[in-house]
Structure 1
Amino acid sequence: MQNQARSTTEDLTTTSASPTAADRVKLETDPGMPSTTWRMRSDAWEYLLFAVKRLVHSPNPQEAYAADTELHRSLRALETIELYWAGCGQEYVRSIRQQLETGEHKAALDRIARVVTRQRGDQPSTESPDDVSDESERLMIADDNDPRPRFEVLVVDEMSAEERETMRKDVHRMRSAADAFVYDFVIVPSAEDAIAAVLTNPNILACVVRPGFSDKTRQPLSKDLLETIELASSSIQSWTAPRSKLAHIQRVVGLADTLARLRPELDLYLMAGAHIEDLARFLTRRFRRVFRREDRFELHLSLLRRVSHLYDTPFFTAIQDHARRPVGVFHALPIARGGSVVTSKWIRDLVDFYGLNLLLAETSATSGGLDSLLAPVHTLKKAQDLAARAYGAKHTFFVTNGTSTANKIVHQALTGPGDIVMVDRNCHKSHHHSLVLTGAKPAYLEAYPLDEFAFYGAVPLSSIKELLLQYRAAGRLDEVRMITLTNCTFDGIVYDPERVMEECLAIKPDLVFLWDEAWFAFATFHPITRRRTAMAAAKSLEARLSSSEHESAYHEQQKRLFNEDGTPVSDDVWLEERLIPAPDAKIRVYATQSTHKTLTALRQGSMIHVYDVEWKRDAEDPFHEAYMTHTSTSPNYQILASLDIGRRQVELEGFALVQRQLDLATSLTHSIARHPLLRRTFKVLTATELIPQEFRGAGRPLPHRDGLAAMWNAWEHAEFVVDPSRITIEISRTGIDGDTFKHDYLMDRYGIQINKTSRNTVLFMTNIGTTRSAIAYLLEVLVKVAERIEENVDRDAIAVVDPKDLPPLPDFSEFSTEFTDDPSLPDGDMRSAFFRGQKRTEVDYVMPNELSDRVAAGGLPVSAGFVTPYPPGFPVLVPGQVITRDVLDFMAVLDTREIHGFDAARGYRIFKESPAALDNAAAPDSKSRSFDPQEDHPRLPRKK
């Protein structure tokens, strides 16, 4: 514990003295112990509690106090960081130091225990305010005894100690027993301190800016935090720029824009003195309200009211009200109100297990305030509008049967027969099935392969641009309707959606984007990860397109991209440049999210988020028709209620939960890398292994381990990054395949549940429900597994899985000429192939060996259905696809337990060879023979 606390507190500050210019050279972060400030704070207080307890019982406490260097480091760290938290403050920490120096160890211990009890939040305070004489301690105890939810409000202004104390006392004076919430102020003097506060303190839900703040911090902050502050404010006009007569407005605007960019959930208020009316005209869009300094009670009411709006859960509240009402049930659903259960002698254990409230909330009626999911006008409509606000969407829709259905709704709403959809071939199977349903033609994009780990990465932007340009050259760009990509992938590869969308729109200005964010809903609620979500990217891109700077850059680039006669220059130029879309390009972005996968919601609870400027004109009616098509008329109200209350959670504490999730994931990777036995047995895959050099830039393999600034830089600039919450462990050195490791070693023996494996990897995912205890247990299990392997197997003779022995992942070959109009382009009529493949008279079943012989002899057999092995979980074959040797070789060595679409007793389902197919096979100059089944796809060279 001492070593852990040392690395965290050293990272926070260098000295407790006021910093000079020389002091601003800070310590480098410790690359071995990743952490964030909230965790540093927690660990420092916990260590103080441990150390001072030891002092109280020490025979020579003063000598022990002087010798405990870690205790002094913790105190120094807390003297800085407590500026950014409500409650005790820097003065409180200094008083503890003074008590320790004067030998008042028991009094110091009481003060420390008070803070630790508050931090843990697991038990109410047993103290009474009357037990202490110090005014600040009395207020702190009164807060701890108050059971109401608490939040913190940042105030940015230079204040004296007396002014700060007066403001904190005013908070208590204005409180009423009728208030649903309580809050306290965090008061900082400078703009840099304000940024540090919102980056480190997730309890802050509102900010009050007073123009008297200074620019620079006087705190001895770590190098990482100072660099992050600089990055956070880099895109905003500097408040240290030459002043104009509106200088005070410019610096307030700069700070407000920076804080809003970091934490869009924050409520911003301005409290000023003179010229308040003029300020209100300039700042209305940035601040919820502008107050005079004396209007503190109005501010107090506004703060409480705003948080009540965040806390509001209209549908969950309606469900609770319905459960409490006496209702007579004279319609369907015998289980409603527990009618068919509570009187039964045989199934009462259903009530015992789930509780009566589950049954009381069950109903098939849409009256009584419960609203209809298919035509919401009241509580459900409001709940979905609140979700749109939380996720930064223009519209949000709840889905009660998972993101598979959400994807089908979007596909049907936006595409139809004949449209071309560019889609990642290894995306979720629901996208492939959606294309069958709509009749749109897929043009499959290939992600870069990670053959040594038997899974794919993501689709390079260059491949997307290249295919769009090919359609333009063929005169068929107008047929390309939508592009569908998975962000982030199951294995944690994250796109830069804004970059992808801007360059694609530069080629086709009306292209629609569907981002499958099934595993990425949590990212909205962290300042760094948010920018790579579809909704945040759409909003940012829309704002950028409207700027005069963008318009100038666009016209300048057009001179380089087009000849004088208006024809495009070489495609090579288009591929090399970062393309700039026209200012009037259409921002049409959809995101589907499995809320239940990464945030609080019952299973199958998903959302569709919409940011579409053409919504009213082109999408609203077909979207609602598709929604009606795929949504049950009997939706599960418990799922809907969980989506509603889960939204409340992430708006009020999402930042804290996601930051903790990322911290715990980083701790896991750190612990495996540092443990001698674990690092000898397992390897954590980093960006170095998961992302080719040309796509990851010059960043570190695990940027989140180096601090916020390193992670910020990577997520700002790299084409692809790795989601830190996903930890892929390579297990080749165990000699055990991934599926066996998952079932026999983790799940059956130790109860460790994981989802994804490949031949030689296992994937561990943290989420907002992961705890430090869970991480510790996982590490304990991994150590036990490693010990068993070492005890039972001679490591020199272990059967290590050599990646070279694994077959390469098969690229999509091509559609048979029977199902494509233009063999030079990759799109195909998969719908026709699918329905033809359902006719028994059209298909044969062929065993793998016989099929391999046909391919070796130059045949071009065509798949009549989907073949999807789990893992890797994407269709290796789709209806109408030519079967190649690569596919058969890959399938031959798979040891997965389930393969959808393949019958082990009968083999592959393929189309009977038609006369046309036989003619093609016999004609060496046929267009279809331009594809060599022994080689990769000729149009999109495989990128290694």
Structure 2
Amino acid sequence: MNNESSCPEIGTPSRAWRSRADAWEFLGYALKQLAMGRHGGSSDSGLQAQVGRAFGLLQAVELYWAAPGLEALAQLRGHVDAGDYQLGLDLMARMTHVVPAAGTGSEQRTGTRPVRESPDEDIPEGLEPAERPRFEVLVVDDLTGQEAEALKADMSAQRRPSDAFIYEVTVVPSYEDALVAVLLNPDIQACILRPGFAVNSKQPLGRDLRRFLAGHVGGGLQAMRPLGRILALAEEISGLRPELDVYLVAGVSIEDLAGSLTKRFRRIFRRQDHLDLHLSLLSGIAERYETPFFTALQDYSRRPASVFHALPISRGGSVGSSPWIRDMADFYGLNLLLAETSATSGGLDSLLDPHGSIKRAQDLAARAFGAQRTYFVTNGTSTANKIVHQSILAPGDVVLVDRNCHKSHHYAFVLAGAQVSYLDAYPLDQYAFYGAVPLASIKQRLLDYRKAGRLDEVKMVTLTNCTFDGIVYDVERVMEECLAIKPDLVFLWDEAWFAFARSHPVYRRRTGMAAAGKLDASFSDPAYAARHARQAAALHDPETGEPADDELWLRTRLIPDPAKARLRVYATQSTHKTLTSLRQGSMIHVFDQDFRDLNQEAFREAYMTHTSTSPNYQILASLDIGRRQVELEGFGLVQKQADLAVSVAQAVARHTLLKKYFRVLTSRDLIDAPYRETSSPMPLRDGLAELEDAWRRDEFVVDPSRLTLDISRTGIDGDTFRHSYLADDHGIQINKTSRNTVLFMTNIGTSRSAVAYLIEVLVKLAESFEDPNRSPRHQGKLSPGLAAGTTPPLPDFSSFAARFRRDASSQDGDIRAAYFESYKAGATAYLSARELTEKVLGGAEVVSAGFVTPYPPGFPILVPGQVITNQTLEFMAALDTREIHGFDHERGYRVFTEQPETAAQ
């Protein structure tokens, strides 16, 4: 047992799943050893002591789980104390379906019957209880043990063989225990609040949990009437896990309560309404379990049909009878072919004009992600970005955008004809990649446009959240302060790598949809309007009413006018990148108060422009099923994902040999000091409370599930390390590198075994670096010149050439005009790197005719119409990446031949 598992206090919630699973697994191992007599003497006492520590941990946490639960734990401990080890083993064998699996962190839902007998025993053969999805229901009420068991028995008595799901009940006595339960136990899917609960927990909560609860348990709860406590608890539970169904069970006067509490509770019941409550619990799960399009596709695949239109592969027609390609059916399976069709009948619906199952699936996705409306995209977030930009931007509109964004945005601006005003992220020169765009830079750019009298032309701000390297914005603050300068600004948050964040109570607040919902609520609060009025008086000249000096606006945390500000927020997410979906499955989430009046038709046309008339139905079905997973198990999976990443970081920091060659970069490395108020280098490592504090206060934070590993001390460049050392030698796949870093990302599918293997591989590599007789192949790839800080500084965006700008003072450029000018015969030529450097150093203005995007780092170093500088050329010369889009290795850079003077004549 490790120290975490032996600690009698409940530690940080993000690690509880692992500690609990390890404790149960150890008990199984120890009981087997004791029952078989594989012990003796001092080893016997040592094993008994470890068993005692495991029981201590489980005694602290098992209150928050219905299964196995405290009752089963007490039975097991009784057998151990009596020396009846075989009886203990038999008991554990009977509850294997609910004992956590230490290897995966998930609950095992298959096996023999539960410890507690129930009406499940009457279920017909072929539909055993373990085969149906199980969940847990949390009841919050201060009941005696006998009362709690009676309540559980009453609820279990309502079970019927036809129930689609099975649930078990856990009862906690207090407000604090309820919050701890929903944080620790991802199997909880519904909460029942009853008026009798206390405020404080009697459990041995650790420092991290106490600190976290301090921010969620108000000081006035003790003096509140029961109804006030219930409402406060319902709000907190919904804030932490909005997917949960919350019910109120009251003793009297529920008719008087019903009208005023409908927003907080799914339903209100009297204590005697056991059957209605039971049916409501199952109905709530059924609504989240529903997958309209996936179900329609399954139904379609089961029906006989003859195809007399497109798609020979439909129903397996061109595959099943072929002696040459039947291995396709063997590999992919018949269901894929049976579900393949170009028809929109039979409940399958049309993606371009949805009214049935696709429309319903998109509505459920909007609910899951906190959006007003959601649209499925079957050809990736590249297309999703183009749809949003084309729907918002018209030729001449100004868009502020991080230059370090995905290339799809840049191409979207070409298509839309927007005036592009590039923002520079803060550079991390020593690691050869960028951070994010400081809020001060965005505000300064907006104020510059205001001073120039062009603020009305600025239509949109586009930012990547989170960045590929895991830098996350304070989304709410960015939108709030920008709307204070321009109330009708539209925001696009590219959350391609952040779709999973909705499922975590801390991450969620930094997503576009959650922040829009929070601001929407704030704007309707009279106290917020009063705060704005006080600030507006200080930010404007009292005599003229004109805005005060820009420096004052920059120094002030701005509050928008809630009467004028419009929330127009879009988020694009690559579901396939961080959640369950087939490749290219993406979503567009919309929280736009003016969507119907200002953008609905334009959005529809943009969607029609970029969406195939033959969308892949398998991708659509996977988006539907992925949404179900988000609502029913996303919380637990994301908690596990982040915790596993932290375990890798800790292993690297603690292992004597690993820390000699590798270092996981922390918040202090990746976020410059001016953008951090908190001091923890790895907040989640220090606990959930530390994470929440950083994510509330810091301008930028780092996604804990991303680990940037500094490999400069190995002397191997990132690209070689990725391909030769990780992929070729050990089968470890990663996506992102820089010259001296590699990026590891855990996801909801990452297992503990995979993490252990990664650590094992890193140790083996470190051992090989220690060996002076390592293979010549590896010896030849060592490069001592890769120490951090030796890479040339990352180039900022220089400027657009004068002929692509409105005037000399304009910071935006017409990227569309530059792009299409290159189509003219004789307008461009190729210059080698040497020739281009000579021209630039000689004082000539040379303008790029296209995009130049090296992978890594993966952002455009040059865009059409950009003036090429020596800083850019030095950086490009230092890159040793094998893939550079837009650069011809034989001919060099494509540039415009026409000089600015000639163009002006």
- Please name the residue that 2:326 is paired with: 348
Displacement of 1:837 after TM fit? 1.3
**Residue 183, structure 1, aligned to residue 161, structure 2:** no
1:711-726 superposed matches below 5 A: 711-726=691-706
**Residue 835, structure 1, aligned to residue 813, structure 2:** no
Of the three residues 524, 530, 534, the one matched with 2:502 is 524
8 Å CA contact retained: 1:55, 1:64 = no
User: TM-score, normalization: structure 2?
Assistant: 0.95
**Residue 317, structure 1, aligned to residue 295, structure 2:** yes
- Please name the residue that 1:939 is paired with: none
| AA partner of residue 464 (structure 2) | T
Displacement of 1:457 after TM fit? 0.4
Q: Secondary structure at the match of 1:859?
A: coil
**Residue 12, structure 1, aligned to residue 20, structure 2:** no
Displacement of 1:673 after TM fit? 1.2
- Please name the residue that 1:930 is paired with: none
Tell me: CA distance 1:550–1:779, structure 2 relative to 1, closer, same or farther (3 Å).
same
Displacement of 1:387 after TM fit? 0.4
1:215-254 superposed matches below 5 A: 215-233=199-217, 238-240=220-222, 242-243=223-224, 247-254=225-232
- Please name the residue that 2:308 is paired with: 330
Displacement of 1:793 after TM fit? 6.9
8 Å CA contact retained: 2:196, 2:226 = no
- Please name the residue that 2:860 is paired with: 875
Displacement of 1:721 after TM fit? 0.7
Cα deviations across residues 338-392 of structure 1 (Å, max 9, x unaligned)? 1111111111111111111111111111111110000000000000000000000
More displaced 10-residue stretch of structure 1: 560-569 or 452-461: 560-569
| AA partner of residue 677 (structure 1) | L
**Residue 125, structure 1, aligned to residue 104, structure 2:** no
- Please name the residue that 2:550 is paired with: 571
Q: Secondary structure at the match of 1:37?
A: helix
| AA partner of residue 647 (structure 2) | S
- Please name the residue that 1:105 is paired with: 85
1:5-154 superposed matches below 5 A: 6-10=3-7, 12-13=9-10, 36-58=15-37, 66-67=45-46, 68-118=48-98, 119-120=100-101, 124-126=110-112, 136=116, 145-154=129-138
Displacement of 1:726 after TM fit? 0.8
8 Å CA contact retained: 2:462, 2:493 = yes
Distance 2:784 2:767 in 1: 17
- Please name the residue that 2:145 is paired with: 161
User: TM-score, normalization: structure 1?
Assistant: 0.91
Displacement of 1:919 after TM fit? 9.1
- Please name the residue that 1:581 is paired with: 560
8 Å CA contact retained: 2:819, 2:864 = yes
8 Å CA contact retained: 1:590, 1:612 = yes
Cα deviations across residues 424-457 of structure 1 (Å, max 9, x unaligned)? 0010000000000000111001000000000000
Distance 1:373 1:440 in 2: 28
| AA partner of residue 881 (structure 1) | Q
Distance 1:327 1:482 in 2: 49
Distance 1:124 1:390 in 2: 28
**Residue 604, structure 1, aligned to residue 588, structure 2:** no
| AA partner of residue 125 (structure 1) | G
Distance 1:891 1:88 in 2: 59
Q: Secondary structure at the match of 1:224?
A: helix
Of the three residues 523, 527, 549, the one matched with 1:549 is 527
8 Å CA contact retained: 1:238, 1:251 = no
- Please name the residue that 1:736 is paired with: 716
Distance 2:548 2:342 in 1: 61
Of the three residues 666, 675, 695, the one matched with 2:675 is 695
8 Å CA contact retained: 2:141, 2:198 = yes
| AA partner of residue 707 (structure 1) | G
- Please name the residue that 1:680 is paired with: 660
Distance 2:45 2:205 in 1: 25
8 Å CA contact retained: 1:661, 1:767 = yes
Distance 2:900 2:875 in 1: 29
Cα deviations across residues 920-942 of structure 1 (Å, max 9, x unaligned)? 9xxxxxxxxxxxxxxxxxxxxxx
- Please name the residue that 2:156 is paired with: 172
Distance 1:280 1:859 in 2: 76
**Residue 891, structure 1, aligned to residue 876, structure 2:** yes
**Residue 508, structure 1, aligned to residue 508, structure 2:** no
Tell me: CA distance 1:514–1:798, structure 2 relative to 1, closer, same or farther (3 Å).
closer
- Please name the residue that 1:132 is paired with: none
Distance 1:110 1:182 in 2: 24
Of the three residues 425, 429, 452, the one matched with 2:403 is 425
| AA partner of residue 239 (structure 1) | L
- Please name the residue that 1:904 is paired with: 889
Displacement of 1:897 after TM fit? 0.6
8 Å CA contact retained: 2:14, 2:640 = no
Distance 2:711 2:580 in 1: 31
Distance 1:108 1:569 in 2: 75
Q: Secondary structure at the match of 2:806?
A: coil
Tell me: CA distance 1:839–1:79, structure 2 relative to 1, closer, same or farther (3 Å).
same
- Please name the residue that 1:463 is paired with: 441
Distance 2:290 2:394 in 1: 39
Indicate the RMSD between aligned Cα atoms, in angstroms. Answer: 2.1
Cα deviations across residues 784-837 of structure 1 (Å, max 9, x unaligned)? 222222214799x97151233211000000011100013323100110000001
Tell me: CA distance 1:35–1:410, structure 2 relative to 1, closer, same or farther (3 Å).
closer
Runs of 5+ unmatched residues, structure 1: 14-27, 130-134, 921-944
Distance 1:185 1:304 in 2: 13
| AA partner of residue 49 (structure 1) | G
Cα deviations across residues 618-644 of structure 1 (Å, max 9, x unaligned)? 011100110000000000000000000
Distance 2:8 2:346 in 1: 56
1:922-937 superposed matches below 5 A: none
1:667-816 superposed matches below 5 A: 667-792=647-772, 799-816=784-801
Q: Secondary structure at the match of 1:146?
A: helix
Displacement of 1:140 after TM fit? 10
Distance 2:812 2:773 in 1: 51
Displacement of 1:754 after TM fit? 0.7
Distance 1:117 1:637 in 2: 35
8 Å CA contact retained: 1:86, 1:186 = yes
8 Å CA contact retained: 1:224, 1:707 = yes
8 Å CA contact retained: 2:576, 2:585 = yes
Distance 2:773 2:428 in 1: 29
Runs of 5+ unmatched residues, structure 2: 102-106
8 Å CA contact retained: 2:109, 2:130 = no
Distance 1:115 1:456 in 2: 51
- Please name the residue that 1:406 is paired with: 384
8 Å CA contact retained: 1:49, 1:113 = no
Displacement of 1:674 after TM fit? 1.3
Displacement of 1:88 after TM fit? 3.3
Displacement of 1:69 after TM fit? 3.0
1:459-498 superposed matches below 5 A: 459-498=437-476
8 Å CA contact retained: 1:591, 1:610 = yes
Distance 1:238 1:844 in 2: 73
Displacement of 1:96 after TM fit? 2.6
Distance 2:121 2:32 in 1: 21
- Please name the residue that 2:843 is paired with: 858
Q: Secondary structure at the match of 1:12?
A: coil
8 Å CA contact retained: 2:97, 2:130 = no
Q: Secondary structure at the match of 1:184?
A: strand
Displacement of 1:89 after TM fit? 2.5
More displaced 10-residue stretch of structure 1: 397-406 or 653-662: 653-662
**Residue 199, structure 1, aligned to residue 200, structure 2:** no
Of the three residues 578, 598, 602, the one matched with 1:622 is 602
- Give the share of equivalent positions with the same residue, in percent: 57
8 Å CA contact retained: 1:391, 1:524 = yes
| AA partner of residue 846 (structure 2) | P
- Please name the residue that 2:104 is paired with: none
Displacement of 1:61 after TM fit? 6.6
Cα deviations across residues 121-171 of structure 1 (Å, max 9, x unaligned)? 5584346x8xxxxx8477999999532100111111111111111122223
